[in-house]
Amino acid sequence: MKIIDAHMHFSDILSFKGTALEISDLDYSSIGLKNEYEENNIIAGIGMGLSETEEGKFPDYNSLNPMRLDLEVPNPAFIYECLGINPYDLQTRKESIYDIENAISETRIVGFKIYAGYYPFYVYDTVYEPIYELAEKYNLPVVIHSGDTYSERGLIKYSHPIHIDELAVFHRNINFVIAHLGDPWVMDTAEILSKNRNVFADLSGLIVSDEFKAKTYINEKTFIDHFRRAIFYSETYDKLLFGTDWPLVQVKTYIEFIKKLVPEKYYEDIFYNNSNNLFKLFEEGE
């Protein structure tokens, strides 16, 4: 089975490096990523653009738009990219939106990433309207961080998935992706998925750990049922996307975890078809 990793990272961020070294125990480099992908038949990853101007400063209010994948240059050929958006730069630098639109012309740009909660703006704030205009103009999905933040400096009132309902209603021609199933508010995400035809969700970032600890989560019924309940309630197996949030967890273990959450008959959709249909990475037969 071919797999697309619809949510991963490849940016020069101190917290990612620290997590790879101290928590997930993996090689955060193009070589490490290539090895994990090849071992698990992952043919493409979609990186969420992100940057910091000083080590450890993310969420960095000074990062320029668009935020990119800058761990290594050039990026591996199997990585596609969602352009990261800093709302402060949108507010203060008039060239910001032009720089974002110019970057869209690059062949491997497949969407936008908004870091709700990391930046203290609701997703329906007018600061993001130029991004939504570009998303509709170029038919690009918008991935939105939802749920818990991987930084104590985040403000989670801005990252609650319920706010994406308002976006979906007033921007019917744009596809939105609720990242991380909105965890811990997974039932809220389930309702938004079932209600709105233009809202999807990725299943990334639900475990942050090394292989050993991840397996304890996988075998814990209470933990598994937290997600299964929401997935079953939403009944939207055609709108769920596999993602790892690499480097927060090892790929092989995370695939095993996601297979525990969904019925086997939907594996090909969740691990490949849904992401390919949404982000349009490969033509049929490739």
Q: Is residue 255 very low, low, confident or very high in pLDDT (cuts 50, 70, 90)? A: very high
Residue 98 lies in a domain: yes
Instruction: State the pLDDT at residue 257.
Output: 96
Instruction: State the pLDDT at residue 135.
Output: 98
Q: Is the pLDDT of residue 244 over 90?
A: yes
Under the phi-then-psi rule, with left for phi > 0, alpha for psi from -120 to 50, and beta for the rest, what region is 45?
Answer: beta
Report the CATH number that the domain containing residue 137 is assigned in CATH: 3.20.20.140
Instruction: State the pLDDT at residue 285.
Output: 59
Residue 164 lies in a domain: yes
Residue 190 lies in a domain: yes
Residue 285 lies in a domain: no
Q: Is residue 6 very low, low, confident or very high in pLDDT (cuts 50, 70, 90)? A: very high
Q: What residues contact residue 129 under an 8 Å CB cut-off, 6+ apart?
A: none
Task: Find the Cα–Cα–Cα–Cα dihedral 226, 230, 236, 238, rounded to 10°.
Answer: -20
Residue 188 lies in a domain: yes
Residue 21 lies in a domain: yes
Q: Let me know: does 193 contact 201? Beta carbons within 8 Å.
A: yes
Instruction: State the pLDDT at residue 283.
Output: 82
Calpha distance 260→283 (Å, rounded): 29
What is the pTM for the complete model shown? Answer: 0.97
Q: Please report, as a single letter, which amino acid is at residue 154.
A: G
Q: Is residue 284 very low, low, confident or very high in pLDDT (cuts 50, 70, 90)? A: confident
Instruction: State the pLDDT at residue 202.
Output: 98
Specify the number of domains making up the chain: 1
Residue 150 lies in a domain: yes
- Pairing outcome for strands 176-178 and 240-241: unpaired
Residue 286 lies in a domain: no
Q: Is the pLDDT of residue 248 over 70?
A: yes
Q: Identify the domain containing residue 25 by its residue range.
A: 3-279
Task: Give the residue-averaged pLDDT of 112-131.
Answer: 98
